[in-house]
């Protein structure tokens, strides 16, 4: 029976490369001179710190453009509320979203079942497994999921015939 998995993963190496490129650009740009702006990536967090909220917003835009250029979906990064830190500095912290949360998995599973196709959907931890008798049904499910407006990026992996 053909199956495939719906997962939400982020390539950490691409995120690291995007953060490095953004930090290099921030270091070279004239409007960031003397602002002591920092972009750090550790574990599943990206933190941006600068001497004013406006500089933090500009650094966030630089980071987002670098993520897009490295083919990392911006939906995979959440948070980023700018907060004052001490000493007239501001900071924004973003988290990487890995995996599909259980509530989101339940909603996606229900939406796939509402398509009225002959497929079964199983929630397996932070991913969904879709199985059916026909390969064409699975391909239609993939195209339908791509059309859905989800709050998180999805990839399709482990397609087996």
Quote the pLDDT of residue 88. Answer: 85
Per the CB < 8 A criterion, the answer to whether 122 and 113 are in contact is no
Any idea what the CATH number is for the domain that residue 66 is in? Answer: 3.30.70.990
Per the CB < 8 A criterion, the answer to whether 155 and 11 are in contact is no
Any idea what the CATH number is for the domain that residue 149 is in? Answer: 3.30.70.860
- Both 81 and 23 in one domain: the answer is yes
Structure tokens at 113: 């079942």
Per-residue pLDDT in tens (0 to 9) along the chain, 161 residues: 889 999 999 999 999 999 999 999 999 989 888 888 999 998 889 999 999 888 999 999 999 999 999 999 888 898 889 999 888 899 999 999 888 888 989 999 999 888 888 889 899 888 999 998 988 888 889 999 999 888 888 999 888 87
- Both 41 and 117 in one domain: the answer is no
What are phi and psi for residue 134, nearest 5 degrees?
-110, 140
- pTM for the whole structure: 0.82
Q: What is the Rg, in whole angstroms, of the alpha carbon atoms belonging to the chain?
A: 20
């Amino acid at each position: 029976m053909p199956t495939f998995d719906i997962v939400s993963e982020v390539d950490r190496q691409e995120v690291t490369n995007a953060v490095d490129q953004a930090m290099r650009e921030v270091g070279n740009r004239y409007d960031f001179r003397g602002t002591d702006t920092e972009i750090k990536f550790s574990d599943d967090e990206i933190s941006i710190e600068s001497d004013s909220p406006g500089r933090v917003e500009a650094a966030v835009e630089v980071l987002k453009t670098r993520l897009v250029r490295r083919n990392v979906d911006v939906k995979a990064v959440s948070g980023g509320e700018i907060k004052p830190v001490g000493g007239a500095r501001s900071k924004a912290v973003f988290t990487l979203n890995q995996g599909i949360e259980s509530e989101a998995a339940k909603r996606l599973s229900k939406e796939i079942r509402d398509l009225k196709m002959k497929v079964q959907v199983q929630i397996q931890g932070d991913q969904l497994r879709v199985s059916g008798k026909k390969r064409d049904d699975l391909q239609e499910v993939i195209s339908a999921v791509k059309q859905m407006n989800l709050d998180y990026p999805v990839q399709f992996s482990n397609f087996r015939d």
